[in-house]
Structure formats: C-alpha cells, structure tokens
Structure 1
Amino acid sequence: MVRGLVWFVLFGAASLAFYRVNDRIVWDICRRERRPYPQAWTFSLYWQWRTIIGGWYTDARRAGLLIPKAAATAAILIASIGSVVTGIFERLPG
C-alpha cells in the first residue's frame, strides 16, 4: 500500500515536471514564431498535434530544454514501469 502511494507521488511529480518543460517549450516556440502564448495550450488541438509529431524534441533543443525534456520523459517512464514491476514482485511467492 505504501509503495503504491510512493509510486503515485513519483508519477505525479514526473508528470508535473513533464508539463512544465513542455510549457516552456511552447512559450519559446511562441516567442520565436511571434505567436501569442495560449494559456490553455494543453486543450488546443494544434499544440497537441505539434507535441505528437517528431519535431518536438527539435523544438526542445532549440529552446535549450532537450536534457530536461529527456529527463522528464524518462522519469515518467521509470515511474510507470517501476510501479508495475514492483507490483509484480510483490505478488510473487517467497
């Protein structure tokens, strides 16, 4: 039970870091392309599509946020996979 809560908190922290890095990338793109910065960019189909296509890591590099973006992505993956693996090991006999 406690381990599940710890993994949940770690996943939440990783998700918040992931969002903040993406927010700074959006801000940098808007600044470079002279677009208005949308406060609710997460609800915009344009920005959702733009984050999915392959150039998002290129945009992160241009913003100087490639390492934080990679670290936040890795943190989400580790928290997701780690919680599943821990759950499997807890259920093993012995």
Structure 2
Amino acid sequence: MVRGLVWFALFGAASVALYGVNDRIVWDVCRRERRSYPPAWTLSPYWQWRTIAGGWYADARRAGLLLPKAAATAAILITSIGSVVTGILDAMPG
C-alpha cells in the first residue's frame, strides 16, 4: 500500500514537471511565432496535436529545454513502468 502511494506521488511530481516544461515550450513557441499565449493551452486541440507531433522535441531544442523535456519524459516512463514492475513482483509468490 505504501509503495503504491510512493509511486503515485512520484508520478504526480513527474507529471507536474512535464507540464511545467511543456508550458515553457508553448510560451516560447508563442513568442517565436508572434502568437498570443493561450492560458488554457492544454484544452486546445491545436496544442494537444502539436505536443504529440514529432516536432515537439525540435521546439524544445529551440527553446533550450530539450534536456529538461527529455528528463521529465523519462521520469514519467520510469514511474509508470516501475510501478507496474513492482506490482508484478509483489504479486509473485515466494
């Protein structure tokens, strides 16, 4: 139970870090393309598609945030996979 809460807290922290990095990337793209910064960009289909598209890491590089973006993405993956693996190991007999 406690392990599950720890993984949940780590996943939450990684998610907040990823959101923060993505927010800075959106701000930089808006500044570079002379767009107005949308405060609710997470609800916009345009920004949802743009963050999913392969060019998002290029935008992160242009913003100088490639390393934080890669680290935040890795943290999300590690916490996701780690929680599943520890759950499987806990369920194994012996």
Aligned partners of 1:87, 1:46: CA distance in 2, in Å? 36
Structure 1 segments of 4+ aligned residues over 6 angstroms from their partners: none
TM-score of the two chains, using structure 2 as the length reference: 0.99
What is the CA-CA distance between 1:52 and the residue it aligns to? 1.1
Q: Deviations over 1:3-59 (max 9, x none)?
A: 000000000000000000000000000000010000000000110111111100000
Aligned partners of 2:58, 2:49: CA distance in 1, in Å? 15
Q: What RMSD, in angstroms, separates the aligned Cα atoms of the two structures?
A: 0.4
- Give the structure 1 partner of residue 92 of structure 2: 92
- Give the structure 1 partner of residue 21 of structure 2: 21
- Give the structure 1 partner of residue 75 of structure 2: 75
SS at match of 1:64: coil
- Give the structure 1 partner of residue 43 of structure 2: 43
Q: Deviations over 1:37-88 (max 9, x none)?
A: 0000000011011111110000000000000000000000000000000000
Structure 1, unpaired ranges of 5+: none
What is the CA-CA distance between 1:93 and the residue it aligns to? 1.1
- Give the structure 2 partner of residue 54 of structure 1: 54
Identity %: 82
Structure 2, unpaired ranges of 5+: none
- Give the structure 2 partner of residue 32 of structure 1: 32
Q: How many residues align?
A: 94
